[in-house]
Amino acid sequence: MKVSVVIPVYNKAPWLKACLTSVFTQTFQDFEVIAVDDASTDGSLALLQDCGDHRLRIIRNGTNVGPGGAAQRGMDAATGEYIMRVDADDIMYPDRFEVQVAVLDAHPEVGATSGHIRLMTEPETLHRVELSDAACKARMLFGVPLNQPATAYRTAVLRAHDVRFDDRWPHYGEDWMHQLELARHTRFLNLDRPLIHYRKGAMNIAHGRDRAADLRFLYDHVFANLGWPLNKEQRELHLATVKCFPRPFIAADVRAFHVWMTELERLNRERGTFDQAALRVQLRHHWAALYYHLPAFGIGPALQHMRCSGDWSWRKWRYLLSVLLER
């Protein structure tokens, strides 16, 4: 068997049929499907049982273990050379499996690959990933390097290094924790194209959660896993790299954020964890992106960003004035 498609399912009845249709009509057909019903209460299991395709195997969890634990049970049962991770409320591009199999076939050094995902609610919007291994690894300091719902894994790499989801992990961010471990053992390579239509809304595991609290836990885990120091003040500044502001940013925070970006570059130069040029690209991106969130907190933080950057361009002034005039 070339591919095992693993689909964790928890209360996805309204969208499950469309997802399965997009899987079974792929241009690449050498696969099995393992759906893990994670103690659904909405009829999802009945829909799976009525599927009628002989390639579908169903694993039933007696209790809900969360998306990571459910996925791991499917991955443990997989017989394919590659594992395709699928979310039960998404829709695959017709050639998703074909192009990811081609990547893994052509690059035996690569253990995992994903691509961009297109939001169903905002069709013009892509949730992008970095492409090269160096860029993916540098991205891990701020977020996931692979879009999990569009990820394909080399099964032998996962099993050789015992890279697994843990039932004790939180139900949000478990993909980041898993990829952080996987990155120690293999190379990543992402496709510069969308692979799935992603459904965003109340059905997502992240909906309604305390995002800042989740991210604080995850940043503590990531930095500890890497062996990098992170105090509470630095962790609060780091939240801004993913547009999370638990409280208004003031000018002093902008100065501190600038110092923190410099400190991250110094730490990496000292420890050699990531490709230095790739990390510098990430740091410059997050510093530049911060500016466009600052006018919401007043003119002071935006002016401080221009002062730290030495960039007083008309482009930045125009953006600042446009936001202030709209308030």
What's the CATH code of the domain at 129? 3.90.550.10
Phi, psi of 209 (to 5 degrees): -85, 165
194 and 215 together in one domain: no
pLDDT digits (tens, 9 = 90+) for 71-112: 999 999 999 999 999 999 999 999 999 999 999 999 999 999
pTM across the whole model: 0.93
Of 166, 198, 230, the position where a domain reaches its end is: 198
Q: Is the pLDDT of residue 203 over 80?
A: no
Residue 206 lies in a domain: no
12 and 59 together in one domain: yes
Distance CA 320, CA 266 (A): 31
Of 168, 198, 228, the position where a domain reaches its end is: 198
pLDDT digits (tens, 9 = 90+) for 27-48: 999 999 999 999 999 999 999 9
Predicted local distance difference test score (pLDDT) of residue 204:
59
50 and 154 together in one domain: yes
Range of the domain at 8: 3-198
50 and 177 together in one domain: yes
Predicted local distance difference test score (pLDDT) of residue 206:
57
Of 169, 198, 227, the position where a domain reaches its end is: 198
Phi, psi of 247 (to 5 degrees): -140, 165
pLDDT digits (tens, 9 = 90+) for 237-261: 999 999 999 999 999 999 999 999 9
Predicted local distance difference test score (pLDDT) of residue 164:
97
Residue 193 lies in a domain: yes
7 and 142 together in one domain: yes
